[in-house]
Amino acid sequence: MTVAIASTTVPGTTATKKKVNFANLGVGAAMNMFEVTTLGQPFEVIKTHLAANRQDSIATAFKKIYQRGGLSGFYQGMIPWAWIEASTKGAVLIFAASEIEYVAKGSGVSPFAAGLIGGMGGGLAQAYTTMGFCTFMKTVEITRHKAVGGAAEVSTFAVARDIFKREGIMGINKGVNAVALRQCTNWGSRLGLSRLAEETIRNFRGIDAGSPLTAWEKIAASAIGGGLSIWNQPIEVIRKMTIANCARWIWQTNGLKGFYRGSVPRFGLGMWQTICMVAGGDALKKLVNEKYGKN
């Protein structure tokens, strides 16, 4: 069976669809699994630690995480929750964003706008379909030691079960709307800015709109798009909080800089995720299409 997925187009060209095998939908899952298994999870652990322990510096966070579990401490929550989340949300993102981006391009908008709209739709789709429970479980795994005075005897499932008993399904999915807002702005910004960076590189080199970029140029464009998308860090900070007036509390206690707590690891995470999912995703989709001849 085949499904239509949008191919990447540039100004001056007509948006076309390629028929690809369902195996090609695994591109998103494969790239997201690669991302989280390499640098993604360590960045995520550091970022989550800084959000949960607002008094700690990055150096202190590194020290505490290492003391907690050595190098494996930086991969807390990866198996199975980060893998489950990555393998599902990656496929949803690539599929949904590609389809929406294709429709947007067909309406005559620029590649930047199409990427922005496609990324926003893909981010919303992955948040509401796959991320609520898995993100909750990952966060519990990374922060559960706080529930027992710094020890880690309580299992992830025990903490999750306790929260479910007290708060029900709403407790498990607490913050899912904030996750959706974060993912919407994350991938809208990342994909849109990456497409804009690709256009800028083409213009700088003076090459035709339809000319492909080199692998390093695609990586550079994705790194720019991912890095600049750090602007929505306040959404990430607020998502980690559980008090009603968290924004006011952050402002009163830490000022503006409080909304950007954990920006450094998230900057690295954003760059790495975008390189994997945009540059890597485009390259792997092309490779799969050529291998199976489903163009």
Please give the average per-residue pLDDT across 77-98, as a whole number: 85
Per-residue pLDDT tens digits for 189-248:
999 999 999 999 999 998 887 688 999 999 999 999 999 988 887 776 666 555 455 667
Average pLDDT value for the chain: 79
Q: Residue range 116-142: average pLDDT?
A: 82
143-185 residue pLDDT tens = 666 555 544 566 767 777 777 788 777 777 776 787 888 889 9
Task: Provide the pLDDT for residue 160.
Answer: 74
Tokens standing for residue 24: 């090609």
The more confidently predicted of residues 188 and 99 is 188
Instruction: Please report, as a single letter, which amino acid is at residue 99.
Output: E
For 12-32, the pLDDT digits (tens) are 455 555 454 465 578 889 999
Share of the chain above pLDDT 90, in %: 29
Cβ contacts of 123 within 8 Å, gap of 6 or more: 93, 97, 180, 182, 183, 184, 185, 186, 187, 188
The answer to whether residue 108 scores a pLDDT higher than 90 is no
Rounded CA gap, 29 and 282, in Å?
13
Number of structural domains found in the chain: 1
Q: What amino acid is encoded at 5 in this protein?
A: I
Residues 36-45 pLDDT 10s: 999 999 998 8
pTM of this prediction? 0.71
Domain containing residue 22: CATH number: 1.50.40.10
Rounded percentage of the chain residues whose pLDDT exceeds 70: 77
CB 92 within 8 A of CB 122: yes
Angle at alpha carbon of residue 66, lines to 61 and 68, rounded to 5° = 95
85: Cβ contacts below 8 Å, ≥ 6 apart? 36, 130, 131, 134, 135, 138
- Domain membership of residue 219 as a residue range: 2-292
Neighbouring C-beta atoms of residue 159, cutoff 10 Å: 19
More confident residue, 67 or 153: 67
Residue type, 63: K
Burial of 135 (0-12, 13-18, 19+ CB in 10 A): buried
DSSP three-state, residue 12? coil
SS3 53: coil
> Using CB atoms within 10 A of its CB, is residue 236 exposed (0-12), middle (13-18) or buried (19+)?
buried
Look at residue 3 and tell me whether its pLDDT is greater than 80: no
